[in-house]
């Protein structure tokens, strides 16, 4: 599973030690996880055959275009905060703190939903060992796993770097192992024989739904945008790390997807929940598949652990800077961690596990697209007009073409989301507007007071 959360806040001076290679590795670490092991069957079923590979190619194009938006904004406004800083700077002229507030409000939904996909995937692979689990046992295990992660995080965590490295190593072993198993008994007729009408009139309908899955697997390509003041030559390192990581992961996903599709007819692949276990058992037997399944379960659990750890710091940082509800700015009295945000996200994660995996992915993207993805494109355009003297170590190549491609792609993904996802995500945003109005009234902020313009990155404090 992928994580799109920024690192915890740090008040000291950063050392510019991250170059192009290490920046690319950081992005790829966040992009990889259990994601492809739980989405390959969904992508194949959604696209209706081996042409599912197109979904990952189109997803890579969208990720690269959007990555150039992140690169310009992140290089110009580096450090903690990420999106909410970009939105705060761009939209303060018209709507005060509304947009950054809405973004953090949405994060309270989207980050836990992203973690829910990890829990769901973990339990799906656990069913390889316990195939007869019913509906209630599955969800009890999911809630228990979420509770265990929250309990383990209910203290100050100092070993995040070691956990992340361990997760990256296990993920690499899993990807290489499954790909090798797929090519061990590979049948080109399975991988490259497309059903009749595969690229006909229904192709673009399936592509929209497939693109939802595809872009989900690429989430994390923008991680270095949160680390601009730790990058050597950010004008080169940031866009380079984003583009290289997207292209590299596209090839990883294509190799993995093709190797899996070559093992059995695509209909069998589409119906498999623990597809990695299925492939390894087919080629190397049950013992090897059991080892692979355990590795993937560990990866899923670790990714939820690191995701909630980083995610709980996002509303805390915003509240600390008086951009969000003050209750989320409180630290645990003994251990000094943002316990309110952690508990809130833990509860939402547990609730998310009761939904279908495809629905959860669709819901988190539907909520993210409006308040983050499209809003950031608008922010880039607005800031070029409002703050033309802002130092931009990187200016988007071929501007505004990447913005147009990203905007078209995000609209296409949004319109392809399920009706339930659109309704629930829309209701969450409307609720956020209501909460913002109450918060603004209490704090005497816009629209109940005059706008406060603070161009932080121009030095006009």
Residue given tokens 């507007």 in the structure block: 433
Residue given tokens 């959007």 in the structure block: 66
Here the tokens at position 356 are 């279908």
Fold annotation for 20-458: Amino acid/polyamine transporter I (1.20.1740)
Q: Where are the domains of the chain?
A: 20-458
- Mind listing the pLDDT tens digit of every residue in the chain (461 residues)? 554 444 444 444 445 677 888 888 888 877 877 888 999 999 999 888 999 999 989 999 999 999 999 999 988 887 666 898 899 999 999 999 999 999 999 999 999 999 999 999 999 999 999 988 888 999 999 999 999 999 988 877 666 667 767 777 887 888 899 999 999 999 999 999 988 888 877 788 888 889 999 999 999 898 888 776 678 888 888 889 999 999 999 998 899 999 999 999 999 999 998 999 999 999 999 999 999 999 999 888 888 888 888 788 888 888 888 889 999 988 888 878 888 999 999 999 999 999 999 999 999 999 999 999 999 999 999 999 999 999 998 999 999 999 999 999 999 999 999 999 999 999 999 999 999 999 999 999 999 999 989 898 886 54
Contact 380, 441 (CB under 8 A): no
Helices (H) and strands (E) in the chain, counts: 19, 0
To the question of pTM greater than 0.95 for the whole model, the response is no
Contacts of 239 (CB under 8 A, 6+ apart): 67, 68, 71, 75, 394, 397
Q: Taking the chain, what is the end-to-end CA distance rounded to the nearest angstrom? A: 40
């Amino acid at each position: 599973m992928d994580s799109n959360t920024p690192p915890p806040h740090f008040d000291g001076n950063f050392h510019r030690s991250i170059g192009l290679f290490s920046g690319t590795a950081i992005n790829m670490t966040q992009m990889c996880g259990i994601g492809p092991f739980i989405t390959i069957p969904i992508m194949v079923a959604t696209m209706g055959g081996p042409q599912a590979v197109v979904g990952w190619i189109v997803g890579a194009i969208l990720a690269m275009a959007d990555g150039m938006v992140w690169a310009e904004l992140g290089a110009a406004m580096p450090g903690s905060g990420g999106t909410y800083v970009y939105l705060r700077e761009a939209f303060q002229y018209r709507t005060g703190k509304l947009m950054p507030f809405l973004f953090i409000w949405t994060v309270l939904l989207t980050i836990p939903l992203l973690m829910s996909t990890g829990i769901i995937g973990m339990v799906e692979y656990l069913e390889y060992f316990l195939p007869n689990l019913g509906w209630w046992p599955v969800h009890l295990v999911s809630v228990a796993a979420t509770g265990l992660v929250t309990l383990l995080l209910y203290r100050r965590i100092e070993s995040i770097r070691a956990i992340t490295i361990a997760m990256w190593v296990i993920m690499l072993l899993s990807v290489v192992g499954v790909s090798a198993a797929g090519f061990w008994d590979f049948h080109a007729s399975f991988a490259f024989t497309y059903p009749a009408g595969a690229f006909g009139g229904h192709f673009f309908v399936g592509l929209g739904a497939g693109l939802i899955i595809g872009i989900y697997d690429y989430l994390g390509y923008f991680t270095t945008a949160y680390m601009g003041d730790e990058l050597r030559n950010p004008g080169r390192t940031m866009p380079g790390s984003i583009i290289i990581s997207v292209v590299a992961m596209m090839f990883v996903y294509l190799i993995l997807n093709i190797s899996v599709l070559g093992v059995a007819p695509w209909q069998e692949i589409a119906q498999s929940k623990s597809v990695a276990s299925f492939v390894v058992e087919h080629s190397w037997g049950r013992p090897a598949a059991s080892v692979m399944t355990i590795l993937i379960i560990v990866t899923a659990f670790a990714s939820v652990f690191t995701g909630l750890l980083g995610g709980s710091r996002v509303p805390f940082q915003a509240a600390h800077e008086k951009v969000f509800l003050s209750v989320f700015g409180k630290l645990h009295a003994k251990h000094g961690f943002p316990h309110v945000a952690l508990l809130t996200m833990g509860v939402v994660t547990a609730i998310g596990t009761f939904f279908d995996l495809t629905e959860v992915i669709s819901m988190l993207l539907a909520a993210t697209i409006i308040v983050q993805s499209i809003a950031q494109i608008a922010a880039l355009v607005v800031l070029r007009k409002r703050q033309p003297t802002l130092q931009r170590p990187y200016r988007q190549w071929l501007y505004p073409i990447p913005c147009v491609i990203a905007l078209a792609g995000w609209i296409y993904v949004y319109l392809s989301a399920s009706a339930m996802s659109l309704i629930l995500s829309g209701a969450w945003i409307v609720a956020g507007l209501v909460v913002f109005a109450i918060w603004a009234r209490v704090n005497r902020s816009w629209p109940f007071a005059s706008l406060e313009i603070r161009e932080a990155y121009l030095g006009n404090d």
